[in-house]
Amino acid sequence: MKYFDNKFIWGCATSSYQIEGEAYGNGKGPSIWDDFVRIPGKTVNGEHAEVSCNFYHTYREDIALMAQMGIKAFRFSFSWPRIMPLGYGKINEQGIQFYSDMINCLLEHGIEPYATLYHWDLPLELQTAHNGWLNPKITEYFTEYANVCFRNFGDRVKNWITINEPWVVAILGYGQGAFAPGRVSQTEPYLVGHHELLAHAKAVKYYRDNYQASQQGQIGISLNCDWREPLTNNPEDMEAAERALLFFAGWFADPIWKGDYPEVMRQRIGHKLPSFTPEEKAMLMGSSDFFGLNHYTTMFAANSKNTNSDRNVYGNGGISEDQHVDLSVDPAWETTTMNWAVVPWGFRKLLEWIDKRYNRPTIIITENGMSNNDTVSNGEVNDQPRINFIRSYLEACHEAMQHGADVRGYFAWSLLDNFEWALGYQKQFGLIHVDMKTLVRTPKASAWWYAGVVKNNCID
Ligand code: GAL
């Protein structure tokens, strides 16, 4: 038995575009994802999330199911274009009403809201007419939007996440072009990341200056990071693994917890990496009340001997030629249907690395989970692999906590099977199975297993 503190936050995570549906109705403006999924070839089978889980219309049932599982906290995101159809200016009152009702429903069920302001569905207008995250003015648009959310929901929402995975927005959205807005560039990701950091810091400052004292909430950011294990213990590979972590979590965490980009990024990227003014550094420093961590997998890292710049776009390598890191996996590792290796000890090492590098920050695991091919048979879903996965990752987390990491909560990704971005509906991460044709919900074995963990505050 491994026990967790009785204040430990047990939750489930989701995001607006992936679950809500009602993509064009009730006053919502289009987002870059509504547009991107229409481009042939961008998603598997041309799938999109116009309806998806239909959460916009079924949230009462879904929240009741969550309550039945005893879930204590729900992480969702606001759809920016549902709240502000153009991204600025006019507010869509129906959008405000929807989120307000949904939040009230959570509270009626004793479930604590954890709200993300930006989980990738940028208002299309901000992309087409204002150059999206490449425009420095995005920091102002974002703060204006954040203010609308703080003002309307902050009396009830006490946990805010500014941006979900700025790395993904920069690398997959502007580097590899796999995600909206689908741009491919070697330089833009650094500019995008820079603006994301400044938008985050500005919104946090706005919250702290205007709302935190009266609303008494906490605000932070969610960063995604895999673990990078040195392929060998020769110093070059050890350094490469460290470098890979700094290009991954460090890119965003260093400015927030240390006041600037990692030195190794500056050395390798040079002028492609923008600089912060002293005022910006001061605004960034300490701009997260907690370290939100989304973690899924581990890879080996080795110092790259190859000089050919384009060769290594494997997995989450990032803009690889700048890092000079070769990534690989152990073929013996078990993998999920995303092809991500299941390596719980990598989670422990990452938590301990974050703990050490950022001087014991409060950590909240804002996402962790696995995709598995789940099927319903006789009204049941036997997803034992997911139970094994979550159990082993929670054990690893528990171990890191024993070694001092200050982990306060865990959010399973995800509550529902949902739209998995470019991979459409082929990948299933939910604790609750959703039949995408009938929209019927069937809790999986893992949902009831997780309910037991939540209830007893321990893993057996
Ligand atoms: C994260 C993302 C989620 C979800 C998950 C599983 O990167 O925040 O939206 O898609 O990965 O792939």
Measured over the CA atoms of residue 395, residue 396, residue 400 and residue 405, the dihedral's sign is negative
> In 311-401, which ranges are E strands?
325-328, 362-368, 376-377, 380-381
Q: Is the pLDDT of residue 312 over 80?
A: no
- The share of the chain scoring above pLDDT 90, in percent, equals 94
The confidence score (pLDDT) of residue 460 equals 87
- Distance CA(332)–CA(102), nearest Å, equals 44
Model confidence at 413, pLDDT cuts 50, 70, 90, reads very high
Q: Structure tokens of 380?
A: 């049941």
Q: Which of 59, 199, 212 is nearest to 150 (CA)?
A: 212
Catalytic member of 47, 165, 196, 399: 165
DSSP assignments along 286-325, one per residue? T--SSEEEE---EEEEEE-----TTS---TT--SHHHHTE
Distance from residue 279's CA to the centre of ligand 1 (Å) = 33
Distance from residue 236's CA to the centre of ligand 1 (Å) = 31
SS3 letters across 133-156: HHCCCHHHHHHHHHHHHHHHHCCC
Sequence ranges of the domains in the chain: 2-459
Which residue has its alpha carbon closest to ligand 1 atom 9?
15
Check if the beta carbon of residue 410 is closer than 8 Å to that of residue 11: yes
Q: Kindly report, residue by residue over 257-272, the tens digit of the pLDDT.
A: 999 999 999 999 999 9
| Residue 251: φ, ψ to 5° | -50, -40
Distance from residue 181's CA to the centre of ligand 1 (Å) = 16
Q: Which of 337, 365, 339, 338 is nearest to 351 (CA)?
A: 365
Q: Kindly report, residue by residue over 387-398, the tens digit of the pLDDT.
A: 999 999 999 999
Catalytic member of 242, 367, 399, 420: 367
Q: Is the pLDDT of residue 352 over 80?
A: yes
Q: Which residues of 274-302 are buried (b: 16+ CB within 10 A; e: fewer)?
A: bebeeebeebbeebbbbbbbbbbbbbbbb
Q: Which of 248, 261, 142, 258 is nearest to 204 (CA)?
A: 142
Residues 6 or more apart in contact with residue 389 via CB below 8 angstroms: 336, 342, 369, 370
Q: Structure tokens of 429?
A: 């991460």
Pick from 27-31, 265-269, 421-425: least confident: 265-269
Check if the beta carbon of residue 126 is closer than 8 Å to that of residue 132: yes
Indicate the average pLDDT of the chain.
Answer: 96
Q: Which of 355, 341, 385 is nearest to 228 (CA)?
A: 341
- Distance CA(222)–CA(250), nearest Å, equals 13
The confidence score (pLDDT) of residue 84 equals 99
The confidence score (pLDDT) of residue 93 equals 98
Distance from residue 368's CA to the centre of ligand 1 (Å) = 9
Q: Which fold has domain 2-459?
A: TIM Barrel (3.20.20)
Our mutation pick for probing the ligand 1 site, out of 52, 368, 421, 426, counting the most ligand atoms within 8 A of Cβ, is 421
Q: Structure tokens of 78?
A: 């606001």
**Annotation says 367 is catalytic:** yes
Q: Is the pLDDT of residue 316 over 70?
A: no
